[in-house]
Amino acid sequence: MKPARANGFPGDFDPATFDPKDPDPWLALYLDQSLPIAAEAKTALLRGNRSWSRRWMFNIVRPFVFLFFLFVKLLRGISPHHPNLNGFLHKTIHWGLKTFGSPECNTLILRHFHIGTELLGFIKANAGPVSIETVPLRPTTLKALEDNVFLQHDLNVFNFIIQLNISLREQGRDLAPVDDLDLSMISSEPFALEPLPDGPLNFVDAQTAIEFYTPLYALMLPRADFVRAAQSLQLDETVAIYIAKILGSDYHLAFMKNGHPLVPLSTLQAGYRLMMHGLDCEGLHGWLRQIKARQAAGLPMDPRQPTLGVSSIA
C-alpha cells in the first residue's frame, strides 16, 4: 500500500500532480464524490483498475477463461451434482489470493463480507419484529475464507430474503419508514483487517482474480449452488429497495445498477456482475455511513440538504 502524503491524499492520487494538458482519468475518478464509497475502498479499486494486471493480463487471459467456462457448463450439464468439492474450492481460493492477489484485491474481497453482514443487519434491526437467522461473516484474514465464507455469503442473502418476507407476510405488513433509525451495526471506521500478503507475486487485481475463480466456482460446486450464487448477484436492487422503504427515500437507488432478478442473466456474465455487486454494496454501505454521520451531527438525511465534508465521511 502506498502511503498518504502530507496533504492527506495517497501519493498516486495527489491533486498536486494535476496537469490540465494531460489529466489523469484515475485522479478524476478518485476526486469525484458522486458515489458515497469509503476512501479506502475507492483507493483499492482504482489502484487495481490502473494496474498492468487489469489493463493487460485481464484481456489476455479472458478468452481462455471463457472457453474453460464453456467446458465447465457442458460438464455440469452432464453431471449437475458431482463433483462437489466445496472445501477444496475455498482452500483453492485462499491459496490463490494469498499467493497472487494484490493487497488491494484482497482488501476489497475481505471488506465485502463485512459489508454484506452490516447491510442485512441494518434491515433486520429496522424491520420490526421479524424472525431471521443468518451467519455473520467478518473475516479479517485470508485464511478465514476457508471456513465456507463464499458459499455462506450466498446462503445468507437468500435465507434472509425468504425469512424476512415470511415474517412480513404472516403479519400482513411491509417494511416502512423508521423515525429513529438503528445504525449501530454500520461501521464508521475502516474494517480491522490483518496485514495482507504483499510479495513480488501479489500483483493480480480483483477483477482478474474474480474472472479466474468464477469458472472454478462452477466446476467445484454442484450446478444448483453455482446458479444460486450467480442469481444472488442480481439482488442488489432488491436489498436496496428494502432499505429505501426503511429510509423513506429512494435516493440511493440511482446508483444501484445490478438488479432485475426476475429476469436472470446468463451465468457466463457472473464475473462482471460480481464486480458490479461489490461496487453496489460499497455504494449502499457508504450511503448508510453518511446517514449515520448526519444522524450523529443532528443533520437531515435528505441528500438535497447540505452534505457533510469529505473528511467527515471518508
130 pLDDT above the threshold of 70:
yes
Nearest to 35 by CA among 244, 311, 310: 310
pLDDT averaged over the chain? 92
**252 - beta bridge partners?**
none
Cα 180–chain centre separation: 27
Q: What integer pLDDT is reported at residue 1 of this predicted model?
A: 53
Residue 298's pLDDT band (cuts 50, 70, 90): confident
Residue 303 has pLDDT above 60, yes or no: no
Residue 309's pLDDT is 46
pLDDT at 8: 72
What CA–CA distance (Å, rounded) separates 190 from 188? 7
Task: Quote the pLDDT of residue 186.
Answer: 97
Q: Given CA atoms 255, 130, 144, 96 in this order, what sign does their dihedral have?
A: negative
Confidence of residue 259 (pLDDT cuts 50, 70, 90): confident
Confidence band (pLDDT; 50, 70, 90) for 62? very high
What's the pLDDT band for 72 if we cut at 50, 70, 90? Answer: very high
Question: What ranges do the domains of the chain cover?
Answer: 35-313
Is-contact 122 287, C-beta < 8 A? no
Distance between CA atoms of residues 62 and 289, nearest Å: 35
Q: 160-178 burial string, b = 16+ CB within 10 Å, else e?
A: bbebbeebeeeeeeebeee
Residues 107 and 140 sit within 8 Å (Cβ to Cβ): no
Predicted local confidence at residue 2, as pLDDT: 59
pLDDT in tens, 217-231: 999 999 999 999 999
Alpha-carbon span 256 to 160, nearest angstrom: 20
Chain centroid to CA 16: how far? 31
> In terms of Cα–Cα distance, which of 150, 160, 52, 152 is closest to 110?
150
In this prediction, residues 177-185 reach a mean pLDDT of 94
Q: Pinpoint the alpha helices (H) of the chain.
A: 25-31, 39-50, 52, 58-78, 86-100, 103-125, 149-170, 206-220, 223-232, 236-247, 270-296, 310-313
Percentage of residues in the chain having pLDDT higher than 90: 83
Give the distance between the most distant pair of CA atoms in the chain. Answer: 63
Where is average pLDDT lowest: 12-21, 54-63, 170-179, 304-313?
304-313
Q: What is the pTM of this model?
A: 0.92
Helix (H, G, I), strand (E, B) or coil at 38: coil
For residue 204, the model assigns a pLDDT of 97
The pLDDT tens digits of the residues spanning 134-153 come to 999 999 999 999 999 999 99
pLDDT class for 299, splitting at 50, 70, 90? confident
Whether residue 311 is predicted with pLDDT greater than 80 in this model: the reply is no
Phi, psi values for residue 32, rounded to 5°? -60, 140
Residue 154: per-residue pLDDT: 94
Amino acid at 115: I
Q: With 80 as the cut, is the pLDDT of residue 104 above it?
A: yes
